[in-house]
């Protein structure tokens, strides 16, 4: 989070609470000294007055600001084009729950943004202040390949940075599978040994960030159920989660945990991808 030098803030003037994304952006920019790039995705109405007013107000507060109004074929394509043009290291956008019927027929635009944006995306869902709140980092330490290991470290690092700037408390959750009597590895035949193995895998996070035992949560069950439950139990202000393209970049990520929990979570959601996936998305975007 501290390495971010520019933030793309997606403004939605037609929505009643369009300022929430900007509030989160200014909080982060104050801590990281990042530039703010304000974007309105609209091909019909002109929003120059709004953008100029917001930019002038932010400059008076000491921020470096640029503005743009643009439209590509879709909202998510417009956002990614602006992110690439401005070289932004973070996209912040307010998320509005999708109609269940529409979501069943069409892939939601925010899902596409999470899939194809080459940088972290913060989707703002509530007006709850971050200050003094809890930040939940959701990791899957059962996947210990290099790609996942790097992603886990990145998730916890970003969550720690948010907790630090908000003077909040970091919590880490890892869901583990149910025991399987036919498992070749005996440690996966008992719930207690599985939990102990996952807790051991999280030891590096405890050591690096000084986490107490009450801040580490190892639970049995599906991640898409446990993550919203734990976020609700903690009353988390922010949940940080990873997204991995398991079926290739051009394949659908249906079932991806980040997408499944997005509408269920009652907190803001920061979604990260592995570095190699981001690099591939950068190349794909440059080819378009």
pLDDT tens across 138-149, in order?
998 877 777 777
Residue 179's pLDDT is what? 65
Using CA atoms, how far residue 139 sits from 88, 205, 216, 227, 249, in Å, is 25, 11, 11, 10, 21
Q: What is the pLDDT of residues 30-61, one digit of tens each?
A: 989 999 999 999 988 999 999 999 999 999 99
Given a cut of 60, whether residue 124 has pLDDT beyond it is yes
Instruction: Decide if pLDDT at 193 tops 90.
Output: no
The mean pLDDT value for 182-198 works out to 65
Q: Specify whether the CB–CB gap between 89 and 4 falls below 8 A.
A: yes
**6-94 architecture in CATH?**
3-Layer(aba) Sandwich (3.40)
Spell out the domain ranges in the chain: 6-94, 134-285
What tens digit of pLDDT does each residue of 237-285 get?
999 998 865 444 443 434 478 888 888 999 999 999 876 555 555 555 5
Q: Among all chains, which residue has been given the structure tokens 């304000």?
A: 38
Q: Judge whether 6-94 and 134-285 match in fold.
A: yes
DSSP codes, the chain: -TT--EEEEEE-TTSTTTTHHHHHHHHHHHHH--EEEEEEE-SSS--HHHHHHHHHHHHHTT--EEEEEE--SSHHHHHHHHHHHHT-SEEEEE--PPPHHHHHHS--HHHHHHHH-SS-EEEE------TT-EEEEEE-TT--SHHHHHHHHHHHHHHHHHHHHTT-EEEEEEEEPPP-TT-SSGGGSSHHHHHHHHHHHTHHHHHHHT--GGGEEEEES-HHHHHHHHHHHHT-SEEEEE---TT-TTS--TT-HHHHHHTT-SSEEEEE--HHHHHHHHHHHHH-
Separation CA 269–CA 4 (nearest Å) = 17
Comparing 8 with 255, the larger pLDDT belongs to 8
Residue 250's pLDDT is: 40
For residue 27, give Cα distances in angstroms to 21, 22, 134, 141, 280: 10, 9, 16, 30, 30
Residue 204 burial by CB count (10 A; 0-12/13-18/19+): exposed, middle or buried? middle
Q: What is the pLDDT of residue 287?
A: 53
Would you identify the CATH topology of the domain 134-285? Rossmann fold (3.40.50)
268-272 and 121-124 as β-strands: parallel, antiparallel, unpaired?
Answer: antiparallel
Residues in the chain: 288
pTM of the model: 0.88
Least confident of 109-123, 205-219, 269-283: 269-283
> Percentage of the chain surpassing pLDDT 70?
82
Lowest pLDDT segment from 158-172, 175-189, 211-225? 175-189
Distance in angstroms between the alpha carbons of the first and the last residue of the chain = 28
- Which residues lie closer than 8 Å to 222 by C-beta, 6 or more apart? 175
């Amino acid at each position: 989070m501290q390495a971010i030098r520019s933030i793309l803030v997606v403004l939605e003037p037609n929505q009643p609470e369009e300022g929430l994304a900007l509030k989160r952006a200014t909080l982060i920019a104050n801590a990281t000294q990042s530039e703010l790039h304000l974007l309105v995705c609209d091909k019909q109405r002109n929003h120059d007055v709004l953008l100029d007013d917001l930019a002038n107000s932010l400059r008076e507060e000491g921020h470096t600001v640029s503005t743009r109004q643009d439209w590509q074929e879709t909202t998510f394509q417009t956002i990614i084009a602006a992110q690439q043009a401005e070289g932004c290291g973070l996209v912040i956008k307010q998320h509005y729950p999708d109609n269940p019927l529409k979501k069943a027929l069409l892939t939601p635009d925010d899902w596409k943004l999470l899939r194809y944006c080459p940088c972290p995306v913060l989707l703002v869902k509530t007006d709850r202040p971050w200050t003094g709140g809890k930040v939940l980092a959701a990791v899957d330490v059962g996947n210990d390949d290099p790609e996942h290991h790097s992603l886990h470290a990145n998730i916890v690092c970003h969550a720690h940075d948010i907790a630090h700037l908000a003077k909040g408390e970091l919590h880490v959750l890892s869901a583990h599978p149910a025991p399987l009597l036919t498992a070749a590895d005996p440690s996966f035949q008992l719930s207690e040994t599985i939990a102990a193995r996952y807790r051991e895998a999280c030891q590096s996070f405890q050591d690096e960030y000084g986490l107490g035992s009450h801040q580490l949560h190892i639970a049995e069950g599906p991640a898409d159920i446990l993550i919203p439950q734990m976020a609700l139990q903690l009353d988390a202000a922010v949940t940080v989660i990873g997204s991995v393209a398991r079926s290739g970049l051009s394949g659908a990520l249906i079932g991806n945990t980040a997408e499944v929990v997005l509408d269920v979570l009652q907190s803001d959601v920061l979604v990260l991808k592995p570095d190699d996936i981001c690099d591939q998305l950068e190349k794909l975007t440059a080819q378009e």
